[in-house]
Amino acid sequence: MPGGGKGRRSGGGSPLPATGAAGAASHAQSLASLRRVDGDINEVLASATHATLYTFEGTSNEWERGDVEGPLFVAKRAGNPKYRLVVLNRSSLTNLVEDIDADFEVEIVDRYLIFRRDGSNDAIRGLWFHSLEEHAAIGRLLEKLQAQIKANPPPPPRAPAPPPAAAPAARASSGLLSPGALLSPDALAAPPAPPSLDLETFKNVLRDLVEDDAFVNELHYRYKDKLTSGK
């Protein structure tokens, strides 16, 4: 990293957008640039004109300069995580995007913000600020957001809802009455009485059968079959 120490304060800009028409236009332009990186960003809480990323190498115990440098923003989002730190990289197309959540740890050292993620194997990284004023303002804001997040952690994500149960297959109609139909008044009504058969009607039925050749032949065949099988 560049040499530490308090140094003199630089007039490299304000941690917040300037006031007036020019400041509003600059703020709108910054917000539009951030939304191209993260569409859920809806507010810029603070900014710094220039920050450079360094990574701590454990094997050599030295800080190495990374390939990320440019304007830094602390932004508020519509979803979770609620806050993000973003450096719009002027060195390449890869920006620095860091979630500010319960696992985000930050330490303020001289001109630097040293940060890492709690419980992870990620390398320790640091941001060097050109402006001491911006460095102090960003550091205070990050510490404030950290305290708020730890005091009010976001609710855990909801478990996915179980899939709906499959509807039972419809049974083909068998022509039988359903249980509901069996309980209807029509289904419980008594069956109709058979028609009465008086003696005169019975004689007429027998006379019609005797005069029917097909009936007589069938009766004669069955009689002969019975005599034959009885022998």
Which of 2-6, 35-39, 121-125 shows the lowest mean pLDDT across its residues? 2-6
55 pLDDT more than 80: yes
Domain ranges of the chain: 20-151, 196-231
Is the distance from CB of 2 to CB of 63 less than 8 angstroms?
Answer: no
Q: What is the pLDDT of residue 172?
A: 47
Beta bridge partners, 99, equal 84
What's the whole-number average pLDDT of the chain? 78
Report the C-alpha gap between 151 and 145 in whole angstroms.
Answer: 10
Q: How is domain 20-151 classified at the CATH fold level? A: PH-domain like (2.30.29)
Q: What is the pLDDT of residue 91?
A: 92
Write the DSSP string, 125-164: EEEEES-HHHHHHHHHHHHHHHHHHHHSPPPPPPPPPPPP
Label residue 118 by pLDDT band (50, 70, 90): confident
135 pLDDT more than 90: yes
Label residue 14 by pLDDT band (50, 70, 90): very low
Is the distance from CB of 31 to CB of 41 less than 8 angstroms?
Answer: yes
Q: Provide the residue type at 125 as one letter.
A: R
| Beta-sheet strand order (sheet of 62-77) | 96-100, 83-87, 62-77, 41-57, 125-129, 112-117, 104-109
Name the residue with tokens 């030295």.
62
Structure tokens belonging to residue 116 = 């890492």
Instruction: Identify which has the larger pLDDT, 8 or 138.
Output: 138
Label residue 176 by pLDDT band (50, 70, 90): very low
What percent of the chain clears pLDDT 70, i.e. is strictly above it?
A: 64
Specify the pTM: 0.59
Report the C-alpha gap between 55 and 52 in whole angstroms.
Answer: 10
Q: What is the pLDDT of residue 204?
A: 76
What does the pLDDT look like over 182-213, one tens digit per residue? 444 454 444 454 556 677 777 776 777 777 77
143 pLDDT more than 70: yes
What does the pLDDT look like over 69-92, one tens digit per residue? 999 999 999 999 999 999 999 999
How many residues are present in the chain? Answer: 231
Which of 77-86, 115-124, 164-173 shows the lowest mean pLDDT across its residues? 164-173
Q: What is the dihedral of CA 198, 204, 209, 210, to 10 degrees?
A: 120
Report the C-alpha gap between 93 and 74 in whole angstroms.
Answer: 19
